[in-house]
Chains A and B, each alone.
Chain A
Amino acid sequence: MADSLDLAETVRGKRLRIVAALSAHFGNVELAESAFAEACVRAAETRSPPQDWAAWLYAVAQRIAIDSLRHSRVVRAHAEAATSFDEEVSVSERSMIPDRRLALFFACCHPAIDIASRVALALSTICGFSAKQISRACLLSPAAVSQRLVRAKKKLAGSGIMFEIPDSRFFAERLESVLCTIEIAYSQAHASSDPDGKQALLGRQTLELVDILATLMPGNAQVNALAAALWFSEARRPARRDAAGKMIPLEDQDPQLWNRPMLARARDYYGQIDTAQDASLRTLQADIQALWCSRRQQSDPAPWNRVLARYDRMIAIRDSAFIRLNQVVAIHKLQGAAAGLREFEKLPRAALEGSSAYHAVGAELLSHTQRVPEAIQAYDTAIGLQEGSAERAWLIAQRDALTLRTPP
Protein backbone atom coordinates (compact mmCIF):
# COMPACT_ATOMS: atom_id res chain seq x y z
CA MET A 1 0.00 0.00 0.00
CA ALA A 2 2.69 2.43 1.03
CA ASP A 3 4.58 1.58 -2.14
CA SER A 4 1.70 2.26 -4.47
CA LEU A 5 1.16 5.57 -2.72
CA ASP A 6 4.83 6.33 -3.21
CA LEU A 7 4.53 5.47 -6.87
CA ALA A 8 1.47 7.67 -7.40
CA GLU A 9 3.21 10.51 -5.58
CA THR A 10 6.35 10.13 -7.70
CA VAL A 11 4.38 10.03 -10.92
CA ARG A 12 2.56 13.19 -9.93
CA GLY A 13 5.61 15.05 -8.69
CA LYS A 14 8.37 13.89 -11.03
CA ARG A 15 6.60 13.09 -14.30
CA LEU A 16 7.37 16.39 -16.03
CA ARG A 17 11.01 16.31 -15.06
CA ILE A 18 11.50 12.69 -16.10
CA VAL A 19 9.66 13.18 -19.40
CA ALA A 20 11.66 16.36 -20.05
CA ALA A 21 14.93 14.51 -19.47
CA LEU A 22 13.82 11.68 -21.77
CA SER A 23 12.54 14.10 -24.41
CA ALA A 24 15.80 16.01 -24.49
CA HIS A 25 17.85 12.84 -24.54
CA PHE A 26 16.01 11.27 -27.44
CA GLY A 27 15.03 14.53 -29.15
CA ASN A 28 11.49 13.22 -29.23
CA VAL A 29 8.64 14.22 -26.91
CA GLU A 30 6.19 11.65 -28.25
CA LEU A 31 8.63 8.80 -27.66
CA ALA A 32 9.44 10.08 -24.18
CA GLU A 33 5.77 10.34 -23.19
CA SER A 34 4.83 6.90 -24.43
CA ALA A 35 7.92 5.30 -22.86
CA PHE A 36 7.12 6.95 -19.54
CA ALA A 37 3.49 5.79 -19.71
CA GLU A 38 4.66 2.22 -20.40
CA ALA A 39 7.16 2.44 -17.53
CA CYS A 40 4.29 3.46 -15.20
CA VAL A 41 2.32 0.39 -16.27
CA ARG A 42 5.33 -1.83 -15.53
CA ALA A 43 5.84 -0.09 -12.20
CA ALA A 44 2.31 -0.91 -11.12
CA GLU A 45 2.95 -4.56 -12.01
CA THR A 46 6.38 -5.01 -10.52
CA ARG A 47 6.67 -7.29 -7.48
CA SER A 48 9.84 -5.76 -6.09
CA PRO A 49 9.31 -2.05 -5.49
CA PRO A 50 12.57 -0.09 -5.68
CA GLN A 51 13.97 2.34 -3.11
CA ASP A 52 13.68 5.24 -5.51
CA TRP A 53 10.68 5.18 -7.82
CA ALA A 54 11.78 8.23 -9.81
CA ALA A 55 15.14 6.69 -10.71
CA TRP A 56 13.44 3.39 -11.50
CA LEU A 57 10.88 5.01 -13.81
CA TYR A 58 13.57 7.04 -15.54
CA ALA A 59 15.82 4.03 -16.15
CA VAL A 60 13.00 1.74 -17.26
CA ALA A 61 11.49 4.37 -19.55
CA GLN A 62 14.93 4.86 -21.12
CA ARG A 63 15.15 1.15 -21.89
CA ILE A 64 11.64 1.11 -23.31
CA ALA A 65 12.45 4.07 -25.53
CA ILE A 66 15.65 2.45 -26.79
CA ASP A 67 13.80 -0.79 -27.54
CA SER A 68 11.16 1.05 -29.47
CA LEU A 69 13.83 2.96 -31.42
CA ARG A 70 15.51 -0.33 -32.34
CA HIS A 71 12.25 -1.42 -33.88
CA SER A 72 11.98 1.68 -35.96
CA ARG A 73 14.27 1.61 -38.97
CA VAL A 74 13.99 5.29 -39.74
CA VAL A 75 15.57 6.43 -36.50
CA ARG A 76 18.14 3.64 -36.23
CA ALA A 77 20.95 6.13 -35.96
CA HIS A 78 19.57 7.58 -32.74
CA ALA A 79 19.22 4.12 -31.24
CA GLU A 80 22.83 3.33 -32.02
CA ALA A 81 23.93 6.57 -30.44
CA ALA A 82 21.91 5.71 -27.37
CA THR A 83 23.09 2.10 -27.03
CA SER A 84 26.24 2.99 -25.22
CA PHE A 85 24.41 4.07 -22.13
CA ASP A 86 21.69 1.47 -22.37
CA GLU A 87 24.17 -1.16 -21.36
CA GLU A 88 25.29 0.69 -18.30
CA VAL A 89 21.84 1.54 -16.99
CA SER A 90 21.83 0.70 -13.37
CA VAL A 91 18.82 1.81 -11.47
CA SER A 92 20.55 2.49 -8.19
CA GLU A 93 23.17 4.70 -9.82
CA ARG A 94 20.69 6.65 -11.88
CA SER A 95 18.93 8.50 -9.14
CA MET A 96 20.09 11.81 -10.59
CA ILE A 97 17.59 12.80 -13.24
CA PRO A 98 19.08 15.69 -15.19
CA ASP A 99 16.95 18.83 -15.33
CA ARG A 100 16.43 19.34 -19.06
CA ARG A 101 13.28 21.41 -18.78
CA LEU A 102 14.92 24.58 -20.10
CA ALA A 103 16.22 22.74 -23.17
CA LEU A 104 12.73 21.39 -23.72
CA PHE A 105 11.27 24.87 -23.22
CA PHE A 106 13.54 26.26 -25.96
CA ALA A 107 12.69 23.36 -28.28
CA CYS A 108 8.93 23.74 -27.80
CA CYS A 109 9.11 27.47 -28.53
CA HIS A 110 11.27 27.12 -31.64
CA PRO A 111 10.36 29.73 -34.26
CA ALA A 112 9.88 26.95 -36.85
CA ILE A 113 6.82 25.73 -34.91
CA ASP A 114 3.50 27.41 -35.53
CA ILE A 115 2.90 29.99 -32.79
CA ALA A 116 -0.42 28.61 -31.57
CA SER A 117 1.09 25.12 -31.33
CA ARG A 118 4.08 26.53 -29.42
CA VAL A 119 1.78 27.76 -26.67
CA ALA A 120 -0.07 24.43 -26.47
CA LEU A 121 3.18 22.47 -26.57
CA ALA A 122 4.79 24.50 -23.79
CA LEU A 123 1.68 24.30 -21.61
CA SER A 124 1.59 20.56 -22.14
CA THR A 125 5.26 19.61 -21.76
CA ILE A 126 6.48 22.27 -19.33
CA CYS A 127 3.43 22.73 -17.08
CA GLY A 128 1.86 19.32 -17.63
CA PHE A 129 -1.60 20.56 -18.63
CA SER A 130 -3.71 18.01 -20.47
CA ALA A 131 -5.22 18.67 -23.89
CA LYS A 132 -8.57 19.03 -22.10
CA GLN A 133 -7.20 21.63 -19.70
CA ILE A 134 -5.56 23.55 -22.54
CA SER A 135 -8.75 23.45 -24.60
CA ARG A 136 -10.67 25.03 -21.72
CA ALA A 137 -8.40 28.05 -22.04
CA CYS A 138 -8.72 28.50 -25.80
CA LEU A 139 -11.27 28.29 -28.56
CA LEU A 140 -10.33 24.77 -29.63
CA SER A 141 -11.89 21.44 -28.71
CA PRO A 142 -9.79 18.91 -26.74
CA ALA A 143 -9.53 16.82 -29.92
CA ALA A 144 -8.23 19.80 -31.90
CA VAL A 145 -5.66 20.58 -29.20
CA SER A 146 -4.51 16.94 -29.18
CA GLN A 147 -4.19 16.97 -32.94
CA ARG A 148 -2.17 20.16 -32.82
CA LEU A 149 0.09 18.67 -30.14
CA VAL A 150 0.66 15.48 -32.12
CA ARG A 151 1.60 17.45 -35.22
CA ALA A 152 3.94 19.73 -33.32
CA LYS A 153 5.65 16.78 -31.63
CA LYS A 154 6.25 15.16 -35.02
CA LYS A 155 7.80 18.38 -36.25
CA LEU A 156 9.97 18.55 -33.13
CA ALA A 157 11.16 14.98 -33.60
CA GLY A 158 11.84 15.10 -37.32
CA SER A 159 13.07 18.54 -38.22
CA GLY A 160 16.42 18.79 -36.46
CA ILE A 161 15.30 21.12 -33.69
CA MET A 162 17.93 20.70 -30.99
CA PHE A 163 16.81 19.87 -27.46
CA GLU A 164 19.57 21.98 -26.06
CA ILE A 165 19.98 25.47 -24.74
CA PRO A 166 21.03 27.27 -27.94
CA ASP A 167 24.61 28.44 -28.23
CA SER A 168 25.56 32.10 -28.46
CA ARG A 169 24.96 32.30 -32.23
CA PHE A 170 21.26 31.55 -31.83
CA PHE A 171 20.59 32.31 -28.16
CA ALA A 172 19.12 35.81 -28.47
CA GLU A 173 16.75 34.91 -31.29
CA ARG A 174 15.63 31.70 -29.63
CA LEU A 175 15.06 33.36 -26.23
CA GLU A 176 13.03 36.00 -28.04
CA SER A 177 10.89 33.22 -29.48
CA VAL A 178 10.33 31.74 -26.01
CA LEU A 179 9.36 35.14 -24.57
CA CYS A 180 7.10 35.95 -27.53
CA THR A 181 5.28 32.64 -27.10
CA ILE A 182 4.48 33.54 -23.51
CA GLU A 183 3.56 37.12 -24.45
CA ILE A 184 1.16 36.01 -27.15
CA ALA A 185 -0.50 33.51 -24.82
CA TYR A 186 -0.86 36.22 -22.20
CA SER A 187 -2.18 38.83 -24.61
CA GLN A 188 -5.02 36.43 -25.46
CA ALA A 189 -5.61 35.93 -21.74
CA HIS A 190 -5.62 39.67 -21.13
CA ALA A 191 -7.92 40.54 -24.04
CA SER A 192 -10.95 39.88 -21.88
CA SER A 193 -11.38 40.99 -18.26
CA ASP A 194 -13.75 38.12 -17.53
CA PRO A 195 -12.84 37.05 -13.96
CA ASP A 196 -13.47 33.35 -14.45
CA GLY A 197 -13.78 32.56 -18.13
CA LYS A 198 -11.37 30.96 -20.59
CA GLN A 199 -9.09 33.98 -20.58
CA ALA A 200 -8.68 33.97 -16.80
CA LEU A 201 -7.73 30.31 -16.96
CA LEU A 202 -5.24 30.93 -19.77
CA GLY A 203 -3.88 33.80 -17.69
CA ARG A 204 -3.19 31.46 -14.77
CA GLN A 205 -1.65 28.85 -17.05
CA THR A 206 0.60 31.45 -18.65
CA LEU A 207 1.73 32.72 -15.25
CA GLU A 208 2.72 29.19 -14.34
CA LEU A 209 4.73 28.96 -17.55
CA VAL A 210 6.56 32.23 -16.93
CA ASP A 211 7.26 31.21 -13.31
CA ILE A 212 8.93 28.01 -14.46
CA LEU A 213 10.98 29.93 -17.03
CA ALA A 214 12.08 32.39 -14.33
CA THR A 215 13.13 29.50 -12.08
CA LEU A 216 15.11 27.95 -14.91
CA MET A 217 16.78 31.21 -15.97
CA PRO A 218 17.44 33.07 -12.72
CA GLY A 219 18.92 36.51 -13.12
CA ASN A 220 17.83 37.02 -16.73
CA ALA A 221 16.50 40.58 -16.94
CA GLN A 222 14.22 39.90 -19.92
CA VAL A 223 12.61 36.93 -18.22
CA ASN A 224 12.20 38.72 -14.87
CA ALA A 225 10.77 41.79 -16.61
CA LEU A 226 8.22 39.69 -18.48
CA ALA A 227 7.27 37.77 -15.33
CA ALA A 228 6.85 41.05 -13.40
CA ALA A 229 4.71 42.64 -16.12
CA LEU A 230 2.46 39.59 -16.40
CA TRP A 231 1.94 39.19 -12.64
CA PHE A 232 1.24 42.94 -12.20
CA SER A 233 -1.22 42.83 -15.03
CA GLU A 234 -3.03 39.71 -13.88
CA ALA A 235 -3.22 41.03 -10.30
CA ARG A 236 -5.56 43.76 -11.56
CA ARG A 237 -8.08 41.36 -13.12
CA PRO A 238 -10.57 41.56 -10.17
CA ALA A 239 -10.80 45.35 -10.60
CA ARG A 240 -11.17 45.44 -14.37
CA ARG A 241 -14.99 45.32 -14.55
CA ASP A 242 -17.89 46.58 -12.45
CA ALA A 243 -20.83 44.62 -11.03
CA ALA A 244 -22.79 45.15 -14.26
CA GLY A 245 -19.95 43.64 -16.32
CA LYS A 246 -18.66 46.90 -17.78
CA MET A 247 -14.95 47.59 -18.11
CA ILE A 248 -13.33 49.98 -15.64
CA PRO A 249 -10.39 51.86 -17.22
CA LEU A 250 -7.05 51.39 -15.47
CA GLU A 251 -6.89 54.86 -13.93
CA ASP A 252 -10.39 54.49 -12.45
CA GLN A 253 -9.77 51.07 -10.92
CA ASP A 254 -9.91 50.61 -7.18
CA PRO A 255 -6.43 49.43 -6.10
CA GLN A 256 -8.02 47.85 -3.02
CA LEU A 257 -9.50 45.20 -5.31
CA TRP A 258 -6.19 44.17 -6.81
CA ASN A 259 -4.89 40.75 -5.84
CA ARG A 260 -2.28 41.36 -3.15
CA PRO A 261 -0.39 38.06 -3.25
CA MET A 262 -0.08 38.46 -7.03
CA LEU A 263 1.22 42.01 -6.62
CA ALA A 264 3.78 40.76 -4.11
CA ARG A 265 4.92 38.12 -6.57
CA ALA A 266 5.19 40.75 -9.31
CA ARG A 267 7.26 43.00 -7.05
CA ASP A 268 9.62 40.12 -6.32
CA TYR A 269 10.36 39.78 -10.01
CA TYR A 270 10.43 43.53 -10.53
CA GLY A 271 12.95 43.91 -7.70
CA GLN A 272 15.40 41.77 -9.63
CA ILE A 273 15.63 44.06 -12.66
CA ASP A 274 17.36 47.37 -13.03
CA THR A 275 15.57 49.41 -15.66
CA ALA A 276 18.13 52.21 -15.51
CA GLN A 277 20.97 49.88 -16.34
CA ASP A 278 19.11 47.44 -18.54
CA ALA A 279 16.60 49.51 -20.51
CA SER A 280 14.71 47.40 -23.02
CA LEU A 281 11.10 47.27 -24.19
CA ARG A 282 10.34 44.55 -21.67
CA THR A 283 12.01 46.18 -18.65
CA LEU A 284 10.30 49.50 -19.47
CA GLN A 285 6.97 47.70 -19.82
CA ALA A 286 7.51 46.15 -16.38
CA ASP A 287 8.35 49.64 -15.13
CA ILE A 288 5.04 51.01 -16.42
CA GLN A 289 3.12 48.14 -14.84
CA ALA A 290 4.91 48.76 -11.54
CA LEU A 291 4.06 52.47 -11.71
CA TRP A 292 0.36 51.76 -12.17
CA CYS A 293 0.37 49.19 -9.41
CA SER A 294 2.08 51.56 -6.97
CA ARG A 295 -1.27 53.30 -6.37
CA ARG A 296 -2.77 52.32 -3.00
CA GLN A 297 -6.26 53.80 -3.27
CA GLN A 298 -8.58 55.32 -5.82
CA SER A 299 -7.74 58.88 -4.75
CA ASP A 300 -4.02 58.44 -5.54
CA PRO A 301 -3.14 60.35 -8.73
CA ALA A 302 -2.46 58.36 -11.90
CA PRO A 303 1.27 58.28 -12.72
CA TRP A 304 0.86 59.71 -16.24
CA ASN A 305 4.00 61.84 -16.10
CA ARG A 306 6.34 58.98 -15.41
CA VAL A 307 4.39 56.64 -17.69
CA LEU A 308 4.85 59.07 -20.59
CA ALA A 309 8.59 59.22 -19.91
CA ARG A 310 8.73 55.39 -20.23
CA TYR A 311 6.80 55.43 -23.51
CA ASP A 312 9.22 58.04 -24.85
CA ARG A 313 12.14 55.78 -23.99
CA MET A 314 10.43 52.76 -25.52
CA ILE A 315 9.94 54.64 -28.80
CA ALA A 316 13.60 55.60 -28.77
CA ILE A 317 14.40 51.87 -28.65
CA ARG A 318 11.80 50.76 -31.17
CA ASP A 319 9.33 52.97 -32.95
CA SER A 320 6.09 51.01 -32.87
CA ALA A 321 2.62 52.21 -33.80
CA PHE A 322 1.09 50.64 -30.68
CA ILE A 323 3.56 52.27 -28.32
CA ARG A 324 2.81 55.58 -30.03
CA LEU A 325 -0.90 55.02 -29.47
CA ASN A 326 -0.22 54.59 -25.74
CA GLN A 327 1.96 57.67 -25.81
CA VAL A 328 -0.96 59.65 -27.28
CA VAL A 329 -3.18 58.62 -24.36
CA ALA A 330 -0.56 59.87 -21.89
CA ILE A 331 -0.15 63.15 -23.81
CA HIS A 332 -3.94 63.63 -23.71
CA LYS A 333 -4.02 63.17 -19.94
CA LEU A 334 -1.07 65.51 -19.35
CA GLN A 335 -1.43 68.20 -21.99
CA GLY A 336 -5.10 68.11 -22.88
CA ALA A 337 -7.25 66.77 -25.68
CA ALA A 338 -6.14 69.25 -28.35
CA ALA A 339 -2.49 68.24 -27.92
CA GLY A 340 -3.51 64.59 -27.82
CA LEU A 341 -5.51 64.91 -31.01
CA ARG A 342 -2.59 66.58 -32.83
CA GLU A 343 -0.39 63.61 -31.94
CA PHE A 344 -3.19 61.15 -32.72
CA GLU A 345 -3.45 62.47 -36.26
CA LYS A 346 0.23 61.72 -36.85
CA LEU A 347 -0.24 58.01 -36.03
CA PRO A 348 0.21 55.51 -38.86
CA ARG A 349 -3.44 54.73 -39.55
CA ALA A 350 -2.79 51.69 -41.72
CA ALA A 351 -0.99 49.87 -38.91
CA LEU A 352 -3.65 50.62 -36.31
CA GLU A 353 -7.06 50.79 -37.96
CA GLY A 354 -7.82 47.14 -37.26
CA SER A 355 -7.47 47.76 -33.54
CA SER A 356 -10.45 48.71 -31.41
CA ALA A 357 -8.20 50.63 -29.02
CA TYR A 358 -7.07 52.97 -31.82
CA HIS A 359 -10.64 54.04 -32.60
CA ALA A 360 -11.56 54.24 -28.92
CA VAL A 361 -8.64 56.61 -28.24
CA GLY A 362 -9.61 58.69 -31.29
CA ALA A 363 -13.24 58.80 -30.16
CA GLU A 364 -12.32 60.07 -26.74
CA LEU A 365 -10.06 62.80 -28.16
CA LEU A 366 -12.73 63.88 -30.66
CA SER A 367 -15.41 64.00 -27.98
CA HIS A 368 -13.21 66.21 -25.81
CA THR A 369 -12.56 68.60 -28.69
CA GLN A 370 -16.24 69.15 -29.45
CA ARG A 371 -16.28 66.97 -32.56
CA VAL A 372 -19.12 64.84 -31.28
CA PRO A 373 -20.52 63.33 -34.52
CA GLU A 374 -17.05 62.11 -35.51
CA ALA A 375 -16.52 60.79 -32.00
CA ILE A 376 -19.74 58.77 -32.17
CA GLN A 377 -18.66 57.34 -35.50
CA ALA A 378 -15.26 56.37 -34.06
CA TYR A 379 -16.94 54.69 -31.05
CA ASP A 380 -19.10 52.70 -33.46
CA THR A 381 -16.01 51.46 -35.27
CA ALA A 382 -14.32 50.61 -31.97
CA ILE A 383 -17.41 48.70 -30.80
CA GLY A 384 -17.47 46.74 -34.05
CA LEU A 385 -13.87 45.66 -33.59
CA GLN A 386 -14.10 44.84 -29.88
CA GLU A 387 -14.58 41.20 -28.85
CA GLY A 388 -14.41 41.52 -25.06
CA SER A 389 -17.92 41.92 -23.60
CA ALA A 390 -16.87 44.25 -20.75
CA GLU A 391 -14.84 46.42 -23.12
CA ARG A 392 -17.78 46.58 -25.53
CA ALA A 393 -20.17 47.52 -22.75
CA TRP A 394 -17.87 50.38 -21.76
CA LEU A 395 -17.54 51.64 -25.33
CA ILE A 396 -21.32 51.49 -25.82
CA ALA A 397 -21.85 53.48 -22.61
CA GLN A 398 -19.34 56.12 -23.77
CA ARG A 399 -21.05 56.40 -27.14
CA ASP A 400 -24.55 56.53 -25.68
CA ALA A 401 -23.53 59.31 -23.30
CA LEU A 402 -22.43 61.33 -26.34
CA THR A 403 -25.59 60.53 -28.28
CA LEU A 404 -27.64 61.96 -25.40
CA ARG A 405 -25.67 65.20 -25.65
CA THR A 406 -26.47 65.67 -29.33
CA PRO A 407 -30.02 66.31 -30.49
CA PRO A 408 -30.87 64.00 -33.42
Chain B
Amino acid sequence: MVLNSATLPLPRNAVGWIKPTLFTAALLPLLWFIVAALGDALGANPIEAIVRGLGDWALRLLLLTLAVTPLRRLSGWGWIGQLRRMLGLYAFFYAMLHVLAYVVLDQFFDWTALGHDILKRPFITVGMVAFLILLALAVTSAKRLVKRLGGTRWKRLHSLIYPAAIAAVLHYAMMVKADLRNPLIYTALLALLLGCRVWHRLLYKPLESR
Protein backbone atom coordinates (compact mmCIF):
# COMPACT_ATOMS: atom_id res chain seq x y z
CA MET B 1 0.00 0.00 0.00
CA VAL B 2 1.02 3.57 -0.57
CA LEU B 3 2.12 5.52 2.44
CA ASN B 4 1.47 9.10 1.38
CA SER B 5 -1.77 9.93 -0.27
CA ALA B 6 -0.06 12.74 -2.22
CA THR B 7 2.38 11.08 -4.60
CA LEU B 8 5.29 13.13 -5.85
CA PRO B 9 5.02 14.21 -9.47
CA LEU B 10 7.02 12.08 -11.87
CA PRO B 11 5.95 10.70 -15.22
CA ARG B 12 4.46 7.27 -14.85
CA ASN B 13 6.64 5.92 -17.62
CA ALA B 14 9.84 7.13 -15.90
CA VAL B 15 10.85 3.53 -15.30
CA GLY B 16 11.11 3.24 -19.07
CA TRP B 17 14.39 5.17 -19.05
CA ILE B 18 15.47 4.83 -15.41
CA LYS B 19 15.75 1.07 -15.59
CA PRO B 20 18.13 0.87 -18.57
CA THR B 21 20.14 3.78 -17.15
CA LEU B 22 20.50 1.99 -13.83
CA PHE B 23 21.32 -1.25 -15.62
CA THR B 24 24.20 0.45 -17.42
CA ALA B 25 25.36 2.38 -14.36
CA ALA B 26 25.60 -0.82 -12.33
CA LEU B 27 28.04 -2.19 -14.91
CA LEU B 28 30.38 0.77 -14.55
CA PRO B 29 32.24 -0.50 -11.44
CA LEU B 30 33.06 -3.73 -13.25
CA LEU B 31 34.17 -1.78 -16.30
CA TRP B 32 36.33 0.39 -14.08
CA PHE B 33 38.07 -2.62 -12.54
CA ILE B 34 38.80 -4.01 -16.00
CA VAL B 35 40.18 -0.71 -17.28
CA ALA B 36 42.20 -0.13 -14.12
CA ALA B 37 43.62 -3.66 -14.15
CA LEU B 38 44.67 -3.33 -17.78
CA GLY B 39 46.13 0.10 -17.09
CA ASP B 40 47.97 -1.17 -14.00
CA ALA B 41 46.24 1.50 -11.93
CA LEU B 42 45.08 -0.65 -9.01
CA GLY B 43 48.10 -0.02 -6.81
CA ALA B 44 50.77 -2.34 -5.49
CA ASN B 45 48.38 -5.15 -4.62
CA PRO B 46 45.87 -5.24 -7.48
CA ILE B 47 44.46 -8.61 -6.44
CA GLU B 48 43.53 -7.28 -3.01
CA ALA B 49 42.09 -4.15 -4.63
CA ILE B 50 39.91 -6.25 -6.96
CA VAL B 51 38.70 -8.67 -4.26
CA ARG B 52 37.84 -5.88 -1.82
CA GLY B 53 36.44 -3.53 -4.45
CA LEU B 54 34.05 -6.17 -5.77
CA GLY B 55 32.98 -6.94 -2.20
CA ASP B 56 32.30 -3.24 -1.60
CA TRP B 57 30.07 -3.09 -4.67
CA ALA B 58 28.20 -6.25 -3.74
CA LEU B 59 27.45 -4.67 -0.37
CA ARG B 60 26.42 -1.32 -1.88
CA LEU B 61 24.05 -2.97 -4.35
CA LEU B 62 22.61 -5.16 -1.63
CA LEU B 63 21.80 -2.06 0.42
CA LEU B 64 20.39 -0.35 -2.67
CA THR B 65 18.14 -3.37 -3.22
CA LEU B 66 16.93 -3.08 0.35
CA ALA B 67 16.28 0.63 -0.18
CA VAL B 68 13.72 -0.01 -2.94
CA THR B 69 10.75 -0.87 -0.75
CA PRO B 70 11.21 1.98 1.78
CA LEU B 71 11.68 4.44 -1.12
CA ARG B 72 8.56 3.17 -2.82
CA ARG B 73 6.55 3.54 0.36
CA LEU B 74 7.91 7.00 1.12
CA SER B 75 7.52 8.40 -2.38
CA GLY B 76 4.43 6.57 -3.42
CA TRP B 77 6.07 5.76 -6.77
CA GLY B 78 4.94 2.24 -7.38
CA TRP B 79 7.25 1.77 -10.37
CA ILE B 80 10.34 1.84 -8.13
CA GLY B 81 9.41 -1.70 -7.15
CA GLN B 82 10.19 -2.77 -10.72
CA LEU B 83 13.89 -2.03 -10.10
CA ARG B 84 14.20 -4.37 -7.15
CA ARG B 85 14.89 -7.63 -8.96
CA MET B 86 17.49 -6.08 -11.23
CA LEU B 87 19.33 -4.50 -8.31
CA GLY B 88 19.17 -7.73 -6.32
CA LEU B 89 20.60 -9.68 -9.24
CA TYR B 90 23.37 -7.14 -9.55
CA ALA B 91 24.16 -7.52 -5.86
CA PHE B 92 24.46 -11.25 -6.46
CA PHE B 93 26.51 -10.64 -9.62
CA TYR B 94 29.12 -8.59 -7.74
CA ALA B 95 29.09 -11.02 -4.80
CA MET B 96 29.78 -13.83 -7.27
CA LEU B 97 32.65 -11.89 -8.87
CA HIS B 98 33.97 -11.16 -5.35
CA VAL B 99 33.97 -14.88 -4.51
CA LEU B 100 35.45 -15.78 -7.91
CA ALA B 101 38.22 -13.22 -7.48
CA TYR B 102 38.98 -14.68 -4.05
CA VAL B 103 39.04 -18.26 -5.36
CA VAL B 104 40.92 -17.57 -8.61
CA LEU B 105 43.06 -14.48 -8.11
CA ASP B 106 43.71 -14.58 -4.37
CA GLN B 107 43.97 -18.31 -3.67
CA PHE B 108 44.39 -19.65 -7.22
CA PHE B 109 42.23 -22.75 -6.68
CA ASP B 110 44.12 -23.88 -3.59
CA TRP B 111 41.16 -25.95 -2.40
CA THR B 112 42.84 -27.03 0.83
CA ALA B 113 43.51 -23.43 1.82
CA LEU B 114 40.01 -22.43 0.70
CA GLY B 115 38.46 -25.22 2.77
CA HIS B 116 40.42 -24.19 5.84
CA ASP B 117 39.52 -20.56 5.30
CA ILE B 118 35.81 -21.25 4.98
CA LEU B 119 35.66 -23.55 8.00
CA LYS B 120 38.20 -21.94 10.33
CA ARG B 121 37.95 -18.22 9.70
CA PRO B 122 34.67 -16.86 11.01
CA PHE B 123 34.67 -13.80 8.74
CA ILE B 124 34.95 -16.02 5.67
CA THR B 125 32.36 -18.48 7.01
CA VAL B 126 29.92 -15.61 7.54
CA GLY B 127 30.67 -14.19 4.09
CA MET B 128 30.09 -17.59 2.50
CA VAL B 129 26.72 -17.89 4.27
CA ALA B 130 25.70 -14.51 2.84
CA PHE B 131 26.82 -15.59 -0.63
CA LEU B 132 24.96 -18.91 -0.53
CA ILE B 133 21.76 -17.13 0.48
CA LEU B 134 22.17 -14.67 -2.38
CA LEU B 135 22.78 -17.59 -4.72
CA ALA B 136 19.51 -19.23 -3.64
CA LEU B 137 17.65 -15.96 -4.10
CA ALA B 138 19.18 -15.32 -7.53
CA VAL B 139 18.29 -18.82 -8.71
CA THR B 140 14.67 -18.35 -7.62
CA SER B 141 14.32 -14.81 -8.92
CA ALA B 142 12.67 -15.63 -12.25
CA LYS B 143 9.01 -14.70 -12.53
CA ARG B 144 7.86 -18.22 -13.33
CA LEU B 145 9.49 -19.41 -10.10
CA VAL B 146 7.40 -16.99 -8.10
CA LYS B 147 4.42 -18.73 -9.60
CA ARG B 148 5.75 -22.23 -9.07
CA LEU B 149 6.74 -21.62 -5.45
CA GLY B 150 3.61 -19.67 -4.68
CA GLY B 151 3.66 -16.07 -3.59
CA THR B 152 3.76 -16.68 0.14
CA ARG B 153 6.52 -19.27 0.02
CA TRP B 154 8.53 -17.21 -2.45
CA LYS B 155 8.21 -14.17 -0.20
CA ARG B 156 9.24 -16.13 2.85
CA LEU B 157 12.28 -17.48 1.00
CA HIS B 158 13.25 -14.04 -0.24
CA SER B 159 13.00 -12.47 3.19
CA LEU B 160 16.31 -14.30 3.67
CA ILE B 161 17.83 -11.20 2.10
CA TYR B 162 17.70 -9.69 5.60
CA PRO B 163 20.00 -12.28 7.25
CA ALA B 164 22.14 -12.20 4.08
CA ALA B 165 22.62 -8.44 4.38
CA ILE B 166 23.38 -8.69 8.10
CA ALA B 167 25.92 -11.45 7.39
CA ALA B 168 27.51 -9.42 4.59
CA VAL B 169 28.02 -6.36 6.80
CA LEU B 170 29.28 -8.57 9.63
CA HIS B 171 31.71 -10.25 7.20
CA TYR B 172 33.18 -6.84 6.43
CA ALA B 173 33.35 -5.70 10.06
CA MET B 174 35.03 -8.94 11.16
CA MET B 175 37.72 -8.62 8.50
CA VAL B 176 38.88 -5.15 9.49
CA LYS B 177 41.99 -4.86 11.69
CA ALA B 178 41.32 -1.75 13.75
CA ASP B 179 39.52 0.95 11.78
CA LEU B 180 35.80 0.16 11.96
CA ARG B 181 34.59 3.39 10.39
CA ASN B 182 33.51 2.01 7.02
CA PRO B 183 31.83 -1.14 8.38
CA LEU B 184 29.98 1.07 10.86
CA ILE B 185 28.68 3.27 8.04
CA TYR B 186 27.29 0.19 6.31
CA THR B 187 25.87 -1.04 9.63
CA ALA B 188 24.08 2.27 10.17
CA LEU B 189 22.61 2.25 6.65
CA LEU B 190 21.44 -1.34 7.04
CA ALA B 191 19.92 -0.55 10.44
CA LEU B 192 18.09 2.38 8.88
CA LEU B 193 16.71 0.26 6.04
CA LEU B 194 15.62 -2.54 8.36
CA GLY B 195 14.24 0.04 10.78
CA CYS B 196 12.02 1.42 8.02
CA ARG B 197 10.41 -1.98 7.71
CA VAL B 198 9.86 -2.38 11.44
CA TRP B 199 8.39 1.09 11.58
CA HIS B 200 6.10 0.36 8.65
CA ARG B 201 4.89 -2.83 10.32
CA LEU B 202 4.21 -1.16 13.63
CA LEU B 203 2.28 1.62 11.92
CA TYR B 204 0.25 -0.34 9.40
CA LYS B 205 -0.11 -3.93 10.54
CA PRO B 206 -2.56 -3.10 13.35
CA LEU B 207 -4.64 -1.01 10.95
CA GLU B 208 -4.74 -3.73 8.33
CA SER B 209 -5.73 -6.46 10.74
CA ARG B 210 -8.47 -4.39 12.27
Do chains A and B interact in one complex? no
Binding site for B on A (CB under 8 A): none
- Which B residues form the contact surface with A (CB < 8 A)? none
